[in-house]
Amino acid sequence: MTEARATVGALSRETLARRLAGDGIAVRTGPFVTRLRLPLDELAASLRLLYADFPVDSSGFADFDVTARRLGRGKIEFLIDGERRFAPVARGIALPMLEWAINWCLYTFSHQYLLIHAAVVERKGRALVMTGRPGAGKSTLCAALVGRGWRLFSDEFAVISPDDGRLWPIARPIALKNDSIERIRRLVAGAVLGPTSDDTHKGRVAHMRAPAASVRRADEPARAGWIVFPNRADDGVAALAPVPGGRAFFRLADNAFNYHFHGAAGFEAVCRMIDACDCLDLGYADLEDAVAALDRLVDGEAR
């Protein structure tokens, strides 16, 4: 296996740890390459578990450079391109902080794409975009759908080419919080979850490894077919209800990271996406019920 085709998991634990503590490794996630310099044994182990199937890029180029640095009293800090961008954190939450640092790089610097805060999965050649308020269960739904065979694009970003409207996958680990961790353990047979980090600003956090098939298809974009706005309820059967295009537009724009950057091109991209999609509210109380409703939607049984 040549280095150009090497994956993170193909590196031995010792080799990976040594390289992360030295010049780092460049990991490709879809259209992005991130160079990681992480001189922490626990981060090396987590990276090897959760990013096992991701390619190690040997081109020498990286879009972002993320470095972890030890501080005293059990603290670490993360640097972006050698600069301090975040406050120091406890070493025990190093893994979620690494994921948040990579997210920060994406929405701060990747303005060649229109980026919307959304979970995205694909089935039958069309993408399902789920966006909405925090706590609506987007990542949990995303993990459950992936467990049912949907292709993972991202639990965090809809990455949209403004010129043609295609969505690009960046199938990184799915972040699960609090009670969602055990719900996904029970629901998704064979799910591989990394270590649980307690006491983050979002509570307990664990990450679910992306399916190898989703990672391998990182160069296959898709067009959106459905835009769904999930809302959790205390009870009731999962139900889908149409959302008018104008209302859907403002919801998408409100959840975009860089809509303002794209100006008229961003406006046109969002309009084209809405015109091409069924836009729907999803009210649900039970996770499996919601997954079944989305399966039926894509199978053409609910419109």
Express each pLDDT in 70-98 by its tens digit: 998 999 999 999 999 999 999 999 999 99
Measured in whole angstroms, the distance separating CA 142 from the mean position of its chain's CA atoms is 9
Sign of CA dihedral 215, 216, 217, 219: positive
The torsion angles phi and psi of 129, rounded to 5 degrees, stand at: -105, 120
Average pLDDT, integer, range 175-192: 95
This prediction's pTM: 0.94
Express each pLDDT in 254-275 by its tens digit: 999 999 999 999 999 999 999 9
Query: Binning pLDDT at 50, 70 and 90, where does residue 301 land?
Result: low
Ordered DSSP codes for 112-178: TSEEEE-EEEEETTEEEEE--STTS-HHHHHHHHHHTTPEEEESSEEEE-TTT--EE---PPEEEET
Q: What is the pLDDT at residue 236? A: 87
Distance, in Å, from the CA atom of 221 to the CA atom of 260, rounded to the nearest integer, reads 24
Average pLDDT, integer, range 291-301: 90
Strand arrangement, sheet containing 119-123? 151-154, 119-123, 126-130, 223-232, 278-284, 239-242
Q: What three-state secondary structure class fits 275?
A: helix
Q: What is the pLDDT at residue 25? A: 97
Res 303 pLDDT > 80: no
Average pLDDT, integer, range 234-252: 94
Distance, in Å, from the CA atom of 265 to the CA atom of 261, rounded to the nearest integer, reads 9
- The percentage of the chain sitting over the pLDDT mark of 90, rounded to a whole number, equals 92
Res 2 pLDDT > 80: no
Q: What is the pLDDT at residue 161? A: 97
The torsion angles phi and psi of 226, rounded to 5 degrees, stand at: -145, 140
Express each pLDDT in 215-230 by its tens digit: 999 999 999 999 999 9
Query: Binning pLDDT at 50, 70 and 90, where does residue 237 land?
Result: very high
Q: What is the pLDDT at residue 288? A: 95
